[in-house]
């Protein structure tokens, strides 16, 4: 019994010297003031002093930071390249730039794959975290702001961009197949064949509607990133 009493006292004394409560409080304050209270996506880089103050909770924040680094390194560049090469400025583009549009379509698929991989790694790492009751709800809000919402906004763009590029490629293919009866003049398309005119107009109307859907998805992404 005496040994047991000594052991309990020793454990209690060890607990009194733990820095975890201070690290926990610092982490909650950091997430609240540096992430949640800011509009949009803010991923502050920890200073050495902040790492010391957060202690083991720095590893919890690393899950969020590493996801965003993967977005910066892999997802965003693929997205920007696809948007650039897939830009359709005229009817002539859908005929003369079909190879670039195909490349953009492949780039959107690659972006989607990179995003899925990054999100899966972050979600798996998050699931392994053991967080006290004071930390978890605050961390969940920060994770939603910096991981879940941006990932969802990017994922919303994938199907509409894929459809737009697919329809643009198909329109270019159709015009090329009927080039003998079609003349492009700037933004206008002329043909003496009523069936060809009707088919092209239908494809154009569908493409324009899908482009509006892309613009809406991009607006949602900007709202997530910049706040709104």
Give me the residue label for tokens 């079609």.
182
Parse the chain into domains and list their residue ranges: 19-226
pLDDT at 1: 39
Non-local CB neighbours of 110 within 8 Å, separated by 6+ positions: 78
Rounded to whole angstroms, how far apart are CA atoms 220 and 154?
Answer: 9
pLDDT at 183: 84
pLDDT at 186: 67
CB atoms inside a 10 Å sphere around CB 123: 15
Rounded to whole angstroms, how far apart are CA atoms 4 and 38?
Answer: 51
Q: CA angle, 177 as apex, 197 and 166 as ends, to 5°?
A: 85
Please list the ranges in the chain whose pLDDT falls under 70.
1-17, 186-187
pLDDT at 16: 42
SS3 content of the chain, % helix, strand, coil (to 5): 80, 5, 15
> Can you give the pTM of this predicted structure?
0.84
Torsion sign across C-alpha atoms 27, 29, 32, 33: negative
């Amino acid at each position: 019994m005496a040994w047991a009493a000594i052991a309990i006292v020793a454990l209690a004394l060890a607990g009194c010297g733990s820095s975890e409560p201070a690290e926990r409080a610092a982490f909650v304050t950091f997430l609240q003031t540096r992430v949640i209270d800011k509009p949009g996506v803010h991923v502050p880089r920890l200073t050495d002093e902040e790492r010391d103050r957060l202690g083991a909770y720095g590893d919890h924040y690393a899950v969020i930071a590493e996801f965003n680094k993967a977005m910066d390194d892999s997802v965003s560049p693929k997205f920007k390249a696809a948007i650039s090469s897939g830009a359709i400025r005229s009817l002539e583009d859908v005929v003369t730039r079909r190879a670039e549009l195909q490349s953009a379509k492949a780039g959107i698929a690659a972006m989607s794959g990179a995003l899925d991989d990054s999100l899966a790694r972050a979600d798996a790492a998050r699931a392994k975290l053991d967080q006290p009751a004071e930390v978890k709800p605050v961390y969940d809000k920060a994770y939603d702001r910096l991981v879940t919402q941006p990932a969802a906004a990017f994922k919303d763009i994938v199907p509409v961009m894929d459809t737009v590029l697919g329809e643009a490629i198909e329109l270019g293919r159709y015009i090329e197949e009927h080039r003998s009866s079609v003349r492009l003049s700037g933004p206008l398309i002329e043909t003496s064949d009523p069936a060809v005119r009707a088919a092209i107009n239908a494809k154009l109307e569908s493409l324009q509607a899908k482009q509006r859907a892309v613009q809406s998805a991009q607006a949602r992404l900007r709202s997530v990133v910049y706040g709104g």
